[in-house]
Structure 1
Amino acid sequence: MATTHIITATSRKDEGKGASRRLRTSGHVPAIVYGAKGVPESIQLDHNPLWLATQNEWFYSSILDLTVDGKVQKVLLRDMQRHPFKQQIMHLDFQRVDENEAIRFNVPLHFLNQEKSPAGKTAGIVVTHELNEITVVCLPKDLPEFIEVDLSALEIGAIMHLSEIKLPAGVSLPTLKLGKEHDLAIVIAKHAKEEAEEVAPAAVAEVPSTKSAKAAAAPAAAPAPKKK
């Protein structure tokens, strides 16, 4: 059963930059709720509880129960503006969810059992995670907070692709419908030496050999005198 995440807000009537500035000064965050054939609604949230919620992964990847003046709406976070250097949230955009319409959303990947895999147990092997989240399409009720990727069988030199991810029921990857070239790598296990060799040719090309350097630095030989 999916976990319920409740975010509390109140409606607001004052809009504009001045009103938003006053809200932030009083410890609140202006936001808007739109979508699902409803009228866009301006709301405000208490900053500190909101800030704590944003420290959790679920805030960005789950359907949230947004309570506005006691009325619950199912929403997804679509945009968040932060202050450039302060720990302050400036504005939020929430999109209402229609339970009967499929949604497209980014879901984080959780990699499991890497240390138990043949690649993970071998010294000198570097395992890289090429993607940390993927775009899925599903009905709201089927949206997972994250997708687990089991790496227990990852072999040395192996490349795991999107098509190898075990997806929850009702969830699909739209990018795979675009062709095999879109079946991107998500995990690569290679020797550390291979990574170094990939960089080496470019570095060597920029450094002339000692012999060439000496030849370039040597003065030109004087011409031989002509015989009389």
Structure 2
Amino acid sequence: MSDTLTLSATARERAGKGASRALRLEGRVPAVVYGNKQEPLSITVEEKALVKALNTGHFMNSVVMIDGVGQAIRTLPKDVQFHPVTDRPLHVDFLRIGEHSKVHVDVPVVFVDEDQAPGLKRGGVLNVVIHDLGLVVDAAEIPSEITVSLKGIEVGESIHLSNITLPNGATAADEGDVTIATVVAPSALKSSEGDTEASAEGETPEA
């Protein structure tokens, strides 16, 4: 299950580009908490703490507790804006959620058992179609990753949504049996097969 993160915040009274620029010079990042039928709350969070949370690799699919503005607020990050040149975070949107709210999150897909995939042993290449799988899940049960086994997969075979086991209580956000990944033949093998076919077509029967 994904870890719960905590960010200390302060209320933000000033709005506008000038105020936001001044906050960033102070090492703070403007943010807003909205949703759950309550008024939006403008806050700031410390940039260093935010960057540390972002570097966990699962910030966007973690419950983030916003502290320091009265009662702790349970949220889910919905958007982070970054500077186009420096990649510094410029603004964050947090969605208020209940402890057991149903939330939509994108969860990383992790592939295992590569050593038990005949197609890969033959030189096949894993072509990942979906890197992050959209799930609707209880906010208290957000998985940190979805594990997909490659055991027994041959060249030319695909892994579909129906082939994997989702966490208990989770449903896929996308409709249909989407393709998660395929094992494709390496270009060298394709080229070799193509040359063989071409040679066979070019042969003329002996008289």
Task: Spell out, residue by residue over 1:190-214, the C-alpha distance to the aligned partner (whole angstroms, 9 max, x if none).
Answer: 21149957xx9xxxxxxxxxxxxxx
State the identity as a percent.
Answer: 32
Which protein shows a greater Rg?
1
Distance 2:131 2:97 in 1: 25
Partner of 2:119 in structure 1?
119
What residue is the counterpart of 1:155 in the other structure?
154
**In the alignment, is residue 174 of structure 1 matched against residue 173 of structure 2?**
yes
Normalising by structure 1, we get a TM-score of 0.77
Separation in structure 2 between the aligned mates of residue 51 and residue 162 of structure 1, nearest angstrom: 33
Q: Cα distance, 1:170 vs. partner?
A: 0.3
How many residues get paired?
192
Give every structure 1 segment of 4 or more consecutive aligned residues whose post-TM-superposition deviation is greater than 6 Å: none
Q: Does 1:189 align with 2:188?
A: no
Query: Tell me, which stretches of 5 or more residues in structure 2 are unaligned?
Result: 195-207
Query: For 1:141 and 1:57, how far apart are their aligned partners in 2?
Result: 19
In the other structure, the counterpart of 2:199 is none
Amino acid at match of 1:142: E
Q: Where in structure 1 are there 5+ consecutive unaligned residues?
A: 177-181, 201-228
Tell me how far apart the structure 2 counterparts of residues 195 and 189 of structure 1 sit (CA, whole Å). Answer: 13
Q: 3-state SS of the aligned residue for 2:72? A: strand
**Displacement of 1:153 after TM fit?**
2.7
Q: Secondary structure at the match of 1:175?
A: coil
Q: Is the 8 A contact 1:104 1:138 kept in 2?
A: yes
**Structure 1 position 147, deviation (Å):** 1.1
Within the alignment, does 1:76 sit opposite 2:87 as a pair? no
- Quick one: which amino acid aligns to residue 140 of structure 1? A
State whether residues 127 and 190 of structure 1, in contact with CA within 8 Å, keep that contact through their aligned partners in structure 2.
yes
1:32 and 2:26 equivalent? no
Aligned-partner Cα distance in 2 for 1:34–1:195:
54
Say which SS state the counterpart of residue 67 (structure 2) adopts. Answer: strand
TM-score by length of 2: 0.84
1:1-228 superposed matches below 5 A: 3-69=3-69, 71-123=71-123, 125-176=124-175, 182-193=176-187
